[in-house]
């Protein structure tokens, strides 16, 4: 397939250079007409070639002839050609046209259909209704046809000749917004049915050209399977009316992705105990922008399977993808459901890994208590229980502290930030890379602390901090990090927005005591067990993660004991950074003191020996 992708991209480039004034879609229609001719497939009114000269026709036909020697089903080749020709353009972005590999299609269809018939043994096959709401060029539907032929044969003893009319006329329906993709699908379907000695039956299939989000399309269905479109929030208005989506869907809140409303719509269109099987971005499991759809799923579905496939699933797509199989279930017993979970993110052979039965079983009830209802597929039962116990026993930091981001310089950073002091309005400022645990070093940056310098008539903008977060002692927490990196400041430094500032709103809660907790292995482990930002190039600590970190409020004497260790580590850090030649003995002593603090925090939160061992072993791999 890699060679096919390379060749199609080459052909596209060749045609665009030859026909500079011709639209890309017109070029594709003419090229695809030759593809159909080469495969001896019937043309229709959409695909015709009146564009290319004889020399180009001969060149293209020679290329097409090489495709016919490949041992690949024609319907798959047609789908790949369509995707690769449109790769990187607005059409691919709008329709999320990424061809799903057969091994993934097979897994989703097999597991969804098998589960459905196990749960509904009394259901007449002819009455089972299956929808592919983002049909594309049809690879999900083609495998569904093969699968249903086998099911009819095993359950009812029908031959393919007998079952095909039932499958096409009663079992299947497809929807797509892209008319060209539907045309290709119908051509491919006609070819497949002819190979099964049933020419002409394709006209009996319910094929709908339209926006799946805007109509019911004869819902409800028993199964909805496919590869739905995903489009990040800032691009939605290019193709759809975001305000209409917000009015129509509960999950269209904040910086929602299009895939969220697609899943919500699909759940609506399912019968009770119907099954949804999708391949979607794995960010749905953890990302804050997907919190609403996770909550919707937990309210309406039993989660059957969650499989993180990692990267490389679609060509030219760098994001992780996951398989999500849900059963619509409004009964409260769904909370006791056991989820089959698997993480293939680092698997050398994802295809083989998907076939293996080494699932982790996770109680769905745990997901009702995770921060932002993240779908954590990594943690053990002990970790889930530890997080729940701590959450129930100790208040979050936000109940006793206020946390804000530092100064955002907007579009005038060069105007506000300088490494030279030129006037009295300039003040020292720290940024994220200036701090480490229990210490910081100013690198000579200055902020022009003059709000009147912002000329809004020129479109300039910036956001300053409230003075109370500057002119009194505060904690500083680095934003770009995969763990808590916090330090104490009593020198009234200004902060850039690569740092957060934290003030205590409880006079009985000392900042340096909070600092010891935030920098501890326990709180870092609790954070990392839910977020898994470590693999990202620039991991981001979100403000709500800090706000929801657990804090145990102790008497002043206990706090002073912790603060003694903090003061000693701060002193050692200063000594270490003052020496031209760094002393390993100081570094070892810092590590030793931090280790003692970590165990004090374990005792503070009353962890068992087994819990401590698990945290220490997992933390060593972070």
The predicted structure's pLDDT at residue 365? 97
Look at the alpha carbons of 215, 221, 225, 230 in this order and tell me if their dihedral is positive or negative.
positive
Task: Tell me the CA distances in angstroms from 324 to 6, 266, 291, 372, 373, one per residue in order.
Answer: 31, 13, 15, 18, 16
The predicted structure's pLDDT at residue 399? 97
**Mean pLDDT over residues 363-387, rounded?**
95
User: Backbone phi, then psi, for 302, in 5-degree steps?
Assistant: -95, 125
pLDDT, one tens digit per residue, over 349-367 is: 999 999 998 999 999 999 9
Percent of the chain past pLDDT 90, that is, above it, reads 63
pLDDT, one tens digit per residue, over 393-446 is: 999 999 999 999 999 999 999 999 999 888 888 999 999 999 999 999 999 999
User: Backbone phi, then psi, for 250, in 5-degree steps?
Assistant: -65, -30
The predicted structure's pLDDT at residue 246? 92
Burial of 323 (0-12, 13-18, 19+ CB in 10 A): buried
The predicted structure's pLDDT at residue 370? 95
- Bridging pattern class, strands 172-176 and 206-209: parallel
Q: Which residue has the higher pLDDT, 243 or 501?
A: 501
The predicted structure's pLDDT at residue 55? 75
Q: Is pLDDT above 60 for 533?
A: no
The predicted structure's pLDDT at residue 366? 97
Task: Tell me the CA distances in angstroms from 102 to 73, 76, 80, 144, 304, one per residue in order.
Answer: 11, 9, 12, 11, 21
The predicted structure's pLDDT at residue 576? 83
**Mean pLDDT over residues 101-126, rounded?**
95
Long-range pairs, 85-92, Cβ under 8 A, ≥24: 85/8, 85/11, 85/12, 85/28, 85/31, 86/24, 86/28, 87/5, 87/9, 87/315, 87/316, 88/316, 89/24, 90/238, 91/25, 91/178
The predicted structure's pLDDT at residue 15? 82
Burial of 507 (0-12, 13-18, 19+ CB in 10 A): exposed
pLDDT, one tens digit per residue, over 51-61 is: 777 777 887 88
Rounded mean pLDDT of the chain?
89
Three-class SS of 568-589: HHHHHHHHHHHCCCCCHHHHHH
Which string of DSSP letters, residue by residue, matches 359-427? PEEEEGGGGGTSGGG----S--HHHHHHHHHHHHHS-BGGGTEEEEE-BB-TT-HHHHEESS--STTEE
Please give the domain boundaries of the chain with CATH numbers for all domains: 2-71 (no CATH), 397-619 (3.90.220.10)
pLDDT band at 121 (very low <50, low <70, confident <90, very high): very high
**Mean pLDDT over residues 476-492, rounded?**
96
Q: How far apart are the first and last CA of the chain?
A: 36
When mean pLDDT is compared across 64-78, 102-116, 270-284, the lowest value belongs to: 64-78
Q: Is pLDDT above 90 for 168?
A: yes
When mean pLDDT is compared across 202-206, 261-265, 454-458, 513-517, the lowest value belongs to: 202-206
The predicted structure's pLDDT at residue 180? 85
- Bridging pattern class, strands 446-448 and 426-430: antiparallel
- DSSP summary character for residue 170: I
d(CA 595, CA 387): 22
**Mean pLDDT over residues 613-618, rounded?**
90
The predicted structure's pLDDT at residue 88? 66
- Bridging pattern class, strands 270-281 and 221-226: parallel
d(CA 499, CA 512): 17
d(CA 290, CA 256): 6
When mean pLDDT is compared across 87-91, 497-501, 512-516, 522-526, the lowest value belongs to: 87-91
The predicted structure's pLDDT at residue 73? 72
The predicted structure's pLDDT at residue 4? 74
Q: Is pLDDT above 70 for 1?
A: no
pLDDT band at 537 (very low <50, low <70, confident <90, very high): low
* Cβ atoms of 409 and 462 closer than 8 Å: yes
Q: Is pLDDT above 60 for 580?
A: no
The predicted structure's pLDDT at residue 114? 96
Q: Is pLDDT above 80 for 301?
A: yes
Helix axes 74-85, 24-38, angle to 10 degrees: 160
The predicted structure's pLDDT at residue 45? 63
Calculate the CA dihedral of residues 175, 181, 186, 189 and round it to 10 degrees: -90
130-132 β-sheet, strand order = 206-209, 172-176, 130-132, 221-226, 270-281, 321-328, 301-310, 338-343, 360-363
Q: Is pLDDT above 60 for 199?
A: yes
Which string of DSSP letters, residue by residue, matches 321-356? EEEEEEEE--SGGGGGPEEEEEE-TT-S-HHHHHHS
118 contact partners, CB below 8 Å, separation of at least 6? none
Q: Is pLDDT above 60 for 157?
A: yes
């Amino acid at each position: 397939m890699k060679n096919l992708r390379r060749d199609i991209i080459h052909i596209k480039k060749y045609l665009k250079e030859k026909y500079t004034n011709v639209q890309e879609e017109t070029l594709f229609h003419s090229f695809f007409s030759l593809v159909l001719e080469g495969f001896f497939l019937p043309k229709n009114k959409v695909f015709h070639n009146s564009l290319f000269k004889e020399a180009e026709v001969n060149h293209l036909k020679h290329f097409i002839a090489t495709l016919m020697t490949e041992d690949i089903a024609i319907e798959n080749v047609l789908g790949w050609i369509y995707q690769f020709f449109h790769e990187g353009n607005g059409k691919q972005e709008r329709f999320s046209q990424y061809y799903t590999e057969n091994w993934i299609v097979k897994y989703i269809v097999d597991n969804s259909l098998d589960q459905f018939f196990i749960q509904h043994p009394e259901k007449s096959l002819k009455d089972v209704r299956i929808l592919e709401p983002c049909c594309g060029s049809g690879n999900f539907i083609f495998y569904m046809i093969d699968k249903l032929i086998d099911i009819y044969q095993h359950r009812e003893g029908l031959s393919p000749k007998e079952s095909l009319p039932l499958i096409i006329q009663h079992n299947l329906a497809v929807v797509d917004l892209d008319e060209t993709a539907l045309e290709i699908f119908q051509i491919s379907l006609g070819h497949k049915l002819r190979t099964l000695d049933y020419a002409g039956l394709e006209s009996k299939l319910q094929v709908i050209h339209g926006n799946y989000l805007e109509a019911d399309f004869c819902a409800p269905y028993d199964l909805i399977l496919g590869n739905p479109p995903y489009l990040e929030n800032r691009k939605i208005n290019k193709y759809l009316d975001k305000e209409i989506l917000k009015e129509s869907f509960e999950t269209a809140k904040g910086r929602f992705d299009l895939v969220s409303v697609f899943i919500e719509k699909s759940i609506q269109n399912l019968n009770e105990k119907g099954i949804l099987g999708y391949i979607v971005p794995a960010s749905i499991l953890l990302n804050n922008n997907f919190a609403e759809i996770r909550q919707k799923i937990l309210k309406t579905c039993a989660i059957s399977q969650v499989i993180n496939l990692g990267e490389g699933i679609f060509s030219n797509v760098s994001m992780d993808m996951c398989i999500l199989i849900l059963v619509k279930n409004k009964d409260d017993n769904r909370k006791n459901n056991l989820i089959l979970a698997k993480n293939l993110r680092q698997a050398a052979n994802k295809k083989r890994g998907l076939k293996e039965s080494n699932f982790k079983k996770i109680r769905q009830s745990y997901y009702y208590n995770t921060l932002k209802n993240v779908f954590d597929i990594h943690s053990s039962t002990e970790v889930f229980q530890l997080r729940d116990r701590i959450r129930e026993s100790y208040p979050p930091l936000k109940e006793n502290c206020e946390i804000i981001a530092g100064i955002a310089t907007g579009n005038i950073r060069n105007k506000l930030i300088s490494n030279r002091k030129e006037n009295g309005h300039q003040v020292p400022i720290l940024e994220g890379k200036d701090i480490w645990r229990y210490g910081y070093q100013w690198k000579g940056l200055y902020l022009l602390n003059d709000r009147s310098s912002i000329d809004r008539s020129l479109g300039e903008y910036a956001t300053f901090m409230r003075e109370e977060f500057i002119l009194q002692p505060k904690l500083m927490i680095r934003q770009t990090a995969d763990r808590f990196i916090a330090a104490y400041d009593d020198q009234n430094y200004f902060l850039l927005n690569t740092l957060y500032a934290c003030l205590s709103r409880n006079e009985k809660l000392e900042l340096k005591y909070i600092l010891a907790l935030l920098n501890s292995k326990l709180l870092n482990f609790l954070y990392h067990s839910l977020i898994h930002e470590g693999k990202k190039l620039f991991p981001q600590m979100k403000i709500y993660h800090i706000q929801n970190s657990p804090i145990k409020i102790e008497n002043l004497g206990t706090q002073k004991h912790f603060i003694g260790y903090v003061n000693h580590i701060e002193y050692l850090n200063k000594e270490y950074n003052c020496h031209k030649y760094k002393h390993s003995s100081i570094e070892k002593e810092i590590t030793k003191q931090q280790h003692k603090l970590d165990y004090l925090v374990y005792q503070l939160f009353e962890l068992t020996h087994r819990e401590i061992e698990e945290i220490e072993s997992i933390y060593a791999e972070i």
